[in-house]
Structure 1
Amino acid sequence: MVASRTIIPTVLVLLVMFLASVEVKAMPSFARQTGMPCIACHLQAFGPNLTPFGRNFKLTGYTMSSGNNTKLIPLAAMVQGSFTHTQRGQPGGAADHFGSNNNATMDQASIFYAGRVTSKVGAFVQTTFDGVEGKNLILDNTDIRFADQASSGSQQFVYGISANNSPTVSDLWNTTPAWSLPATSSALAPTPAAGTLIESLAGQVGGVTAYMMWNNLLYVESGGYASLPKNVQQTVNTFDPEQNKIDGGAPYWRVALQHNHQGHYGAIGSFGMRANVNPQRMQGAGTDQYTDFGFDATYQYLANLRHIFELTATYIRENRNMNASMALGLAEKKHSSLDTVRVRAAYTYQQTYSLSLHYGQTSGTADNVIYFSTDPISGSRSGKPNNQAFTAELSYVPFGKTTSTLSTLANVRLAAQYVHYFQFNGGIRNYDGSGRNAAGNDTLFLSGWLAF
């Protein structure tokens, strides 16, 4: 089984090499719909990181089109494959059917309905096959929008409604959890245990938000989310029996100010949500209360598109009242908090080559019930949620430019990423009580991403 999973990424690499020299007959649906190359919307000609034009395309509901392209069905697909090496192997295997180290895999394959439905309605709906877990198709990121525009004198408004399945998936910036960078990471490397609620609800919830952009300056969005019924989650393959369940509805908010002056683009904002939850879906002991406050900032230098510079920062503060968890023996302390900081700096040359540097840190209240674990690798002997990591990534996107043979047909992203952990699951050395150091989880991740 391990051998077969190694062969698949090899075939994918050969396919990518083949696409680099011949023309394919399919194309990414957004580029096909607008008739524009990928660089119009994406800073590096491919990936989730958007230009001001790309943000406006999403803001207006994915409906912008060119000529007769409105008659085309907006379908697209993608495949991701990768190789993962960690500084120390993972005895027993990195995942079911994988070895302890040096694993190659097809990470995922997705089909999208992505584009215009009517002149005022558009959709981004992703269904994904998880190649690591071997799961059936999962309903992945989903954002269905109605959008329109209005004016009053010199005042311009874009407004709309988004129905989606993840807090922040409707967001226009890469500073919120759903679209935070780096764009890809290894599913076969150890990952820290602690995380905020707003980062953990993707696919588990359904929500509706209303938004408005005033004079291309002020963005406001608000709405609410509720946990999808168990049978619905099972149908779309997102059910997790240990996932917290929202009791009732959870309000969500987002506000941001943006300005673009002669190629210098900047934005600052805040986002968050508040939720009462049944811990691990257990009822009868009341609820826990989570309140997440996020603050973010973005700067992009776009005056000379041969040399693009970026700087982004995100801070999330989560306050918790663990009343129900304490009653059920699932928490040691009634009141606790978690803080997450992410900073990213990047340079992109000719929207083709990019170097990204990321720093991430999580810290918070120690809890010997929530975080303490004797499990090797994933455990924590300190009961602390603290983590620190630095990530460097080099990426290459050969297509997606105006002069590319495949400018509106297909795109490829190749990346090499290295993650170094200064602290992992609350410790630096022997953090799990079984002799593993944080640096033992350092990861070399090579990935290939093909969209068509």
Structure 2
Amino acid sequence: MKINNTISPSLWATALVLLTNLFASQTAQALPSFARQTGMPCTSCHTQAFGPNLNAYGRSFKLNGYTWGGNESALSRFGGMAMASISNTKKNNDDIPNDHVLANRGFNSNNNVAFDQASLFYGGKVFGKMGAFVQFTYDGVASRFALDNTDIRIANDVDWLDQNFVYGVSFNNGPTVQDLWNSTPAWGFPYASSPFGPSYAGPIIDGVAGQVGGATLYTMINNTFFLEAGAYSSFAKYVQKGMGQWSPDGTVKINGGAPYWRIGLQHEAKGHYVSLGHFGFRTDIQPDPNAPVTDRYTDLGVDFNYQYLANPLHIYEVKANYTREQQQLFATYNGGDGSERINQQLGFFGLNGTYTYDQTYGITAGFNHIYGNRDSVVYSASPTNKPNSEYFTFELDYVPFGKKAATDDSYLNLKFAAQYIAYTRLNGADKNYDNTGRNASDNNTLYFNTWLAF
């Protein structure tokens, strides 16, 4: 999710989410090292043979700390990935050559070929009941390195009072990075998108990954009822800088701890899987480290998943999520200079459906809707003074490999994707949304992506 620097709740929040968008990629989690560790093909954990989207076994593998499997070779836990793309927009975007970073990297107002990113991973068992998913990423567009999504777990299970409990602790660098379902911000669709797309508002839970650290305790009871709770705090500035997640305008400063919680219900019968969940995150952000006043963000979300997995030749999925953010902008308001009012609301709704044939060919259609209060200061660049945006995403995928359990095959994993995003509203309007004559549909993007993991 991206936030435009002229419409965000504050200048700090703008820089924060844009910075996170550069370095907290969603394109991970489907690690060939997991296949090498378990001796199983990628299709055992994923609805396609490649990509973050998990099936029931994949969720259980993550829940139990990434430790299943008999391969004890530490070297097999290491892997990597690379991604390249071509992006075309309906009309040229002059902001790209006017951006000094993008211009210096040789990017044009349209038809850009990019080396999106490259990552190194440690994925799998560390020792005993401890496992880890750790990603280091080079952003080929911004030409920067960063510690990306990281989840270190210690997990176990026990039978007590005729009930089975899987329990554990996760140490991670962002709320929902540790989540089991692909309907929360860290792992939601689309799993890859053009780095040259437009920016729009999004909830803070989708904007702090990589700049915070936290721990959560969790349990799954009888593979049905899931509970998780924990808290996050911002890394010190020198730590953020060392991890490649810091900039002068985008440092996260959380006042105290930021609680996070997650509840989920799931059930599977005759190949039909359904889950319903709730998640929440509340944080007090201190925009000025020299001033004690803070902005409070409270995100409350619900999500839904359906998967038909009875026949691996034909897999059907539907995912939905809704997040409502209550903003109390005590620091940003500053007598009306930073916002028109203290209390603001922002909402995000996402829905997508996927059909996968033979875990090789996939087609997905998605819809996203963002809305918020009218504010002539926060959203001054919008002709309606609102952050409202709406867009549709269509994607075709081809995954030729990942169906064999052989170790050699785990070093050749490819995914080809063709994606089209159609914008019907952007930053409050469908026409002249930025007061320069540009329409929302002018940003419609055709994106071709090639993704290699090994």
Normalised to the residue count of structure 2, the TM-score between the two structures is 0.89
Query: Among residues 419, 428, 433, which one is paired with 1:426 in the alignment?
Result: 428
1:148-179 deviations in whole A, cap 9, x for unaligned? 11111421010000000011000000111000
Q: Counterpart of 1:245 in 2: which secondary structure?
A: coil
Task: State the partner residue of 1:13.
Answer: none
Query: Among residues 177, 181, 184, which one is paired with 2:185 in the alignment?
Result: 177
Verify the 8 A CA contact 2:39 2:407 in the aligned structure 1. Answer: no
Verify the 8 A CA contact 1:35 1:408 in the aligned structure 2. Answer: no
Task: State the partner residue of 1:81.
Answer: 84
Task: State the partner residue of 2:27.
Answer: none
Quote the Cα distance in structure 2 between the aligned partners of 1:412 and 1:229: 38
Find out whether 1:166 has 2:174 as its counterpart: yes
Task: State the partner residue of 2:6.
Answer: none
Task: State the partner residue of 2:319.
Answer: 312
Show the 5 A alignment for 1:233-272.
233-243=240-250, 244-272=252-280
Find out whether 1:206 has 2:213 as its counterpart: yes
Quote the Cα distance in structure 2 between the aligned partners of 1:153 and 1:331: 54
Letter in 2 for 1:119: G
Find out whether 1:436 has 2:435 as its counterpart: no
Deviates more, 1:324-333 or 1:246-255: 324-333
- Change in Cα spacing, 1:370 to 1:165, as seen in structure 2 (3 Å) is same
Verify the 8 A CA contact 1:289 1:322 in the aligned structure 2. Answer: yes
Verify the 8 A CA contact 2:39 2:406 in the aligned structure 1. Answer: no
CA root-mean-square deviation: 1.6
Verify the 8 A CA contact 2:420 2:446 in the aligned structure 1. Answer: yes
Quote the Cα distance in structure 2 between the aligned partners of 1:228 and 1:163: 13
Query: Among residues 331, 336, 351, which one is paired with 1:324 in the alignment?
Result: 331
Q: Counterpart of 1:149 in 2: which secondary structure?
A: strand
Shift of 1:245: 2.4
Find out whether 1:33 has 2:37 as its counterpart: yes
Task: State the partner residue of 2:67.
Answer: 63
Show the 5 A alignment for 1:134-173.
134-135=143-144, 137-173=145-181
Shift of 1:383: 2.2
Quote the Cα distance in structure 1 between the aligned partners of 2:161 and 2:96: 64
Quote the Cα distance in structure 2 between the aligned partners of 1:283 and 1:370: 22
Unaligned 5+ runs, structure 1: 1-26, 374-379
Verify the 8 A CA contact 1:32 1:409 in the aligned structure 2. Answer: no
Letter in 1 for 2:391: A
Quote the Cα distance in structure 2 between the aligned partners of 1:276 and 1:92: 32
Shift of 1:424: 0.4
Query: Among residues 130, 140, 143, which one is paired with 1:131 in the alignment?
Result: 140
Task: State the partner residue of 2:447.
Answer: 445
Shift of 1:92: 5.0
| Alignment length (residue pairs) | 416
Q: Counterpart of 2:241 in 1: which secondary structure?
A: helix
Deviates more, 1:95-104 or 1:32-41: 95-104
Deviates more, 1:327-336 or 1:259-268: 327-336
Query: Among residues 223, 229, 237, which one is paired with 1:230 in the alignment?
Result: 237
Task: State the partner residue of 1:219.
Answer: 226
Query: Among residues 361, 373, 376, which one is paired with 1:353 in the alignment?
Result: 361
Q: Counterpart of 1:117 in 2: which secondary structure?
A: strand
Verify the 8 A CA contact 2:271 2:310 in the aligned structure 1. Answer: yes
Quote the Cα distance in structure 2 between the aligned partners of 1:92 and 1:442: 15
Task: State the partner residue of 1:90.
Answer: 93
Q: Counterpart of 1:93 in 2: which secondary structure?
A: helix
Shift of 1:370: 1.9
Verify the 8 A CA contact 2:124 2:131 in the aligned structure 1. Answer: yes
Letter in 1 for 2:86: F
Verify the 8 A CA contact 1:34 1:69 in the aligned structure 2. Answer: no
Quote the Cα distance in structure 1 between the aligned partners of 2:379 and 2:202: 11
Shift of 1:276: 1.0
Find out whether 1:303 has 2:307 as its counterpart: no
1:82-113 deviations in whole A, cap 9, x for unaligned? 00001111125363331000000100000001
- Change in Cα spacing, 1:174 to 1:401, as seen in structure 2 (3 Å) is same
Letter in 2 for 1:213: M
Quote the Cα distance in structure 2 between the aligned partners of 1:73 and 1:370: 49
Find out whether 1:334 has 2:370 as its counterpart: no
Verify the 8 A CA contact 1:285 1:327 in the aligned structure 2. Answer: no
1:411-451 deviations in whole A, cap 9, x for unaligned? 10100000000000111000110000000010000000000
Unaligned 5+ runs, structure 2: 1-30
Q: Counterpart of 2:411 in 1: which secondary structure?
A: coil
Find out whether 1:53 has 2:61 as its counterpart: no
Task: State the partner residue of 1:289.
Answer: 296
Deviates more, 1:45-54 or 1:71-80: 71-80
1:102-143 deviations in whole A, cap 9, x for unaligned? 0001000000011100120000000000000011x2000000
Query: Among residues 98, 104, 113, which one is paired with 2:113 in the alignment?
Result: 104
Verify the 8 A CA contact 1:400 1:406 in the aligned structure 2. Answer: no
Quote the Cα distance in structure 2 between the aligned partners of 1:65 and 1:291: 40
Task: State the partner residue of 1:5.
Answer: none
Quote the Cα distance in structure 2 between the aligned partners of 1:291 and 1:84: 35
Deviates more, 1:222-231 or 1:322-331: 322-331
Quote the Cα distance in structure 1 between the aligned partners of 2:407 and 2:297: 50
Quote the Cα distance in structure 2 between the aligned partners of 1:72 and 1:89: 46
Letter in 2 for 1:318: E
Find out whether 1:120 has 2:129 as its counterpart: yes
Letter in 2 for 1:190: P
Shift of 1:188: 1.4
Find out whether 1:44 has 2:41 as its counterpart: no
Find out whether 1:370 has 2:372 as its counterpart: no
1:302-361 deviations in whole A, cap 9, x for unaligned? 011100000010000001111111117322211110010000111000000000000000
